[in-house]
Structure 1
Amino acid sequence: MIRDWEEDGLRLRYVTFHVGTFKNRKARLAGFYAVPKPGRDLPGLLHLHGGGQRAFLHEVKYYARRGYACLSINWGGREMEQARPGDPNTDWGAVDPTQQNVPGYFNLKPGEKFLDPVESPRNNNWYLLTLGGRRGLTFLERQLEVDPQRLGVYGHSMGGNLTVYVAGTDRRVRVAVPSAGGQGFRTMRRALLPQQRPRVPGGDIGLFRATLGFQSYAPHIKAPLLWLGATNDFHGIMDDTFRTGRLIPSAQVRYAFAVT
């Protein structure tokens, strides 16, 4: 814990936590955590910010006021709100899954800031970010005031992508709300938009689809899911969102789209 304080009946913390050791260097994530006072047996929420954003203090306050324990992680590494000189921030160490390393989101090949010396899905940014999100769930379940059987995850755009990855790999997730993100089939042509070129990953396309395509994670999501969408976000194309959602075995999958 870097700092803690109280505000309007809430307890707030600026925290960092260990993600893992990659290429012999430790990686840590920073974040904001908030709970209502007094808190006991609270449901926990993990907030995953979108591209170009950062951990949001107002987000954890909003949900803490509504009776949740909320953690917003700073996976992108931007300066934390209200940071003081010398405050530690997110430090990925020898790897870099942030937007300072954009090619890594569609990559399998080895490189200086990637994990494996051979072609591998572990060389993709989303692999590391998913680990970070799952460590966020571990942080939540270990807080004394949190009910570890009631954990949820949500995020927008790139955070929506990450929500689907986390929900598809971690049975601790009891509810998931991806917003404008997480639709699969991005390396395939769209039937209604044949003129739009599909994404081409760096590396074997079959391996990428099997290990990093959202359509490969959807069948593993067991929790109820509410898919929020907007028509102007390329991480949540409407047709492919429904196509991906049909692969989720839960009967409790709902959608809400805004025309923007």
Structure 2
Amino acid sequence: MERWSGRVALVTGASAGIGAAVVYQLQDHGVHVVAVARRVDKIEEAVAKARQEAKSRGRYHETKAKPGKLYAKKCDVSKEEDILALFKWIKETLGGVDILVNNAAIAKDTGLVGARTDDWRIVLDLNVLGLSICTREAVQNMRARGVDDGHIIHISSCTGHTVVLHPSAMYSASKHAVMALTEGLRKDFVEHKSNMKVSCVTPGMVRTEFRDNNPKYNTEEFRKLPALNSEDVADAVLYALGTPPHVQIHEVIVKPVGEAF
């Protein structure tokens, strides 16, 4: 991770859970992090909470790096105008990004029979189109600056491999799309003879606000199921980032021991 010290990362969905854990781990390795969410006022609090929770579980990794700066910015990743304004600010203020972690996502009850079209759009606009726009802008920014060792990381879900819960077909479809987009970007890099990397981190059940705020899943039954902590997924992100230049982690699946899905 030493080679990333002093460079710039963009992390979406940074106001809770996995996003906040990724932010503090990157910061602690000397990376300057642009952390974005719709709830910008929650970002710094969430990052501090994620760090403290990791310490309380004995999972905090001390580093010798000078901590990177945190830039908390408001951005609704489902809106292209917000993303374009964000990248304009990054270019004018920091020059650009070297790492992009596409973490922002939303889950809704989105079957193919009973769901509303608007709910399908909400899922696809954020989980697929928002991720794609962020990726496009990040890669174009890197190429314009001559950065050829940048890294794009998509946070997917095991529900992208199979429909785990009903009704969640559109959410699963959106995460399956993320995997297809990962391979599509890898082939784009190959075609351009680029040394940039793309990785997909695919977690199983995770204890996050994302789950706990959904009454359907915040039940005694679900709380008893095996689950990862946010820092477990962030560890996988840093593992992908820390590989040598000739090694690319295409997809890493992280499941809690005992998960039955």
TM-score, structure 2 length as denominator? 0.38
More helix per residue: 2
* Structure ranking higher in strand proportion: 1
Q: Which has the higher contact order (CA 8 A, sep 6+)?
A: 2
